[in-house]
Structure 1
Amino acid sequence: MHCNKYGWLFIAVFFTATFLSACSSSDGEMTDVRVGEVTRSIFYAPQYVAISQGFFEEEGLNIDLTTTWGGDTTMTSLLSDGIDIALVGAETSIYVYAQDANDPAVNFAQLTQTDGTFLVSREPVGQFDWNDLKGSTFLAQRAGGMPQMVGEYVLKQNGIDPQKDLELIQNIDFGNIPSAFASGTGDYVQLFEPTATQFEEEGLGFIIDSFGTQSGNLPYTVYMSKASYLKNNEETVEKFTRALYQAQQWVQEQAPEVIAEAIQDFFEDTPLSTIEQVVERYRDQGSFAENPLLQEDGWYLLQEVMAEAGELPMEVPYNELVNTEIVTGVIEE
């Protein structure tokens, strides 16, 4: 879901466009905020709740949500002022910073706090042990992406060398991985929801473990803006964060079927029962952040995962790319 190699940053960082800042008027006029999400996913349920339940509207914000399909496209849109706020993996802000950006992307609110993929087997498994993967064919996520980095990190944490202990397949495009597994490629596969649940329902695979619970808490998907936008639109970002926090609390309090109904319009091609199962699974494993504060230990775990995969361009201090002032003020209200 999150791209890694950003050669396009050399162009995007220096791309200039008319800066459009959202500002509220004193007569109660709504403020337009352009948000680009890296993909459309039930993994982002609190965001859709904030829209459907009117939490953004109550704050005087009109959210123009666009699915930007990929980390590279999302960050290019943010850096060129095509969007005001990006929902994307926190690792992208590190890649931008490493290119000596004059106006870096700064993380200000966290949405998901674990990886969103699951380990799916072709055959039913009784008592699963990660050592069972040794000698098997493993259909992994695309090389260099955040899901693959977390996947390899988890495998190594469980004593498996992905390059030596597995027949590792990681050259299949993200969108084609499910169909490749369904057609017979691989003994195990790393899948996102709702595909993992749909495979179980259709008897094509069986969820046997979660990369999210295995890897621990890290800022997998966050909201970020350029430093200049945060400086010039602090009130708008505060309102945005307040609405998000309200939605996060709502998701923790409501039954899965209520949440599923609240976000159903965003997933018209997915059965309501499947949405409900996915919401429940993600919430039960703690994938939805309960508040927007990006924790310091999660920030450094992210960099540990990146470094382990050989993809960390440089170590970046927590306070350099994480703004905690806004979210702390909102939580303490």
Structure 2
Amino acid sequence: MGGVQGEDGQMWNRRFRPAGAALALVLTAALLAACSPRSAPKDEKFTVRFTEVIHSIFYAPQYVAQAKGFFADEGLEVVSSTAQGSDRGAAALLAGTADIAMVGPETAVFVHNQDSPVKVKIFAQLTARDGSFLLAREKPEGEFSWTDVKGKSIIGWRPGSMPQLVAEAILRQHGLDPETDLEYIDNLAATAMVGAFLSGQGDYIQVFEPSVSELVQGGHAYLATYLGADYGEMPYTAFLATDKFIAEHPDVIQRYTNAIYRAQKYIFEADPKVVAQEVAQFFEGTDVEILASSIQRYRDEGGWVHTPVMKPEDYEKLQDLMIAGGVLEPDQRAPFDAIATNRFAEEAVRQVK
């Protein structure tokens, strides 16, 4: 299977605080960042140290911006790394080892509610909803209903991660208790989930593209439903930077946002097969046809936003989900303006034609 899929950002547990190791890492990183400023001559091309939560075709606009030279057109050189978790992506920002992170926007809420001397802020939205699909081992009889999973097992995501919170919310909406009406397997690493399913574990599996297309086209599973459509729109993945970096390099943030918006426009206009060929360099070992199928599916299902502007009402829906899932106390809601700014996204929409 090609690549790791999913938003595996288990940063905070169900007792409304970061796991001890993650909290220590974040706070220590923030203190180091306060003592370790970074600057670059304005007459040189700026090198952006970028980190992504994980590597997935769900984040195709980022890879399009790299492959098509949109960042280069803005005078930016992007050096990429994969954090393997929203907590680690946030820690990289706070430590000053990354300038921009593409992670779940919930991380900004958690950092806001901690005693970190450094805060992070969302400046552009990337995805419009959950990107995971539910696949069935056996072909569903007739149209899928969520009640079909009662008494069954689902290979899913870690407790407190966005895919797990969305799945739990949908189950409850359909009158199912995630704790008693089914087995939600949440103790597997993201890299082990597909292998476990192929070895016979689980009646269903909740995965992202390109695993969806690989499993379905390989005859190993049947598409049951798209969780993003079932739960609806909300900011699921976004670009973040520290308040300090944004204040010191607003031009860099603007140019980065411009490049992302160009990629967002392009991915809705171009042939998915062409896009797949252009981003294939970032997915070695994955068939281009699989990538094209993945891109087509996310485009058809409304997985990506059309502009990087984040809607405050969608942000509130995200906090509703966090509260319902037990990872945020009601009195810890963070104001939109403290967590996000649409200044750069709105300017990108004005500038890029």
**Which TM-score band applies after superposition, normalised by the shorter structure?**
over 0.9
Residue type matched to 2:275 in 1? I
Q: Does 2:180 match 1:142?
A: no
The 2-side partners of 1:293 and 1:93 are apart by: 16
* Residue 293 of structure 2, aligned match among 241, 261, 277: 277
- Matched ranges for 1:181-260 at <5 A: 181-260=197-276
Residue 23 of structure 1 deviates from its aligned partner by 5.2
Q: Does 2:98 match 1:60?
A: no
Residue 10 of structure 1 deviates from its aligned partner by 3.7
Q: Does 2:178 match 1:162?
A: yes
Residue type matched to 1:37 in 2? E
Residue 191 of structure 1 deviates from its aligned partner by 1.1
Residue type matched to 1:328 in 2? E
Instruction: After the TM superposition, list the runs of 4 or more consecutive aligned residues in structure 1 that deviate by more than 4 angstroms.
Output: none
Counterpart for residue 317 of structure 1: 335
Counterpart for residue 264 of structure 1: 280
The 2-side partners of 1:241 and 1:224 are apart by: 11
Q: Does the aligned pair in 2 maintain the 1:74–1:88 contact within 8 Å? A: yes
The 1-side partners of 2:155 and 2:56 are apart by: 21
SS in 1 for 2:295: helix
TM-score (norm 1): 0.95
The 1-side partners of 2:209 and 2:240 are apart by: 24
Q: Does the aligned pair in 1 maintain the 2:156–2:185 contact within 8 Å? A: yes
Residue 174 of structure 1 deviates from its aligned partner by 2.0
Number of corresponding residues: 330
Q: Does the aligned pair in 2 maintain the 1:22–1:33 contact within 8 Å? A: no
SS in 1 for 2:347: helix
| Greater mean alpha carbon deviation, residues 307-316 or residues 239-248 | 307-316
The 2-side partners of 1:11 and 1:208 are apart by: 39
Q: Does 2:61 match 1:46?
A: yes
Residue 324 of structure 1 deviates from its aligned partner by 1.1
The 2-side partners of 1:138 and 1:239 are apart by: 42
Counterpart for residue 97 of structure 1: 112
Residue 177 to residue 236, structure 1, CA distance change in 2 (3 Å): same
Q: Does the aligned pair in 1 maintain the 2:54–2:85 contact within 8 Å? A: yes
Counterpart for residue 121 of structure 2: 106
Residue type matched to 2:26 in 1? A
SS in 1 for 2:32: coil
* Residue 291 of structure 1, aligned match among 304, 307, 311: 307
Residue type matched to 2:45 in 1? M
The 2-side partners of 1:256 and 1:171 are apart by: 34
The 1-side partners of 2:80 and 2:149 are apart by: 40
Residue 163 of structure 1 deviates from its aligned partner by 1.3
Counterpart for residue 179 of structure 1: 195
SS in 1 for 2:201: coil
The 1-side partners of 2:183 and 2:91 are apart by: 35
Residue type matched to 1:237 in 2? I
The 1-side partners of 2:271 and 2:107 are apart by: 33
Q: Does the aligned pair in 1 maintain the 2:138–2:221 contact within 8 Å? A: yes
Counterpart for residue 327 of structure 1: 345
Q: Does the aligned pair in 2 maintain the 1:138–1:187 contact within 8 Å? A: yes
Residue 55 of structure 1 deviates from its aligned partner by 0.7
Q: Which runs of 5+ in 2 are unaligned?
A: 1-7, 13-17
SS in 2 for 1:332: helix
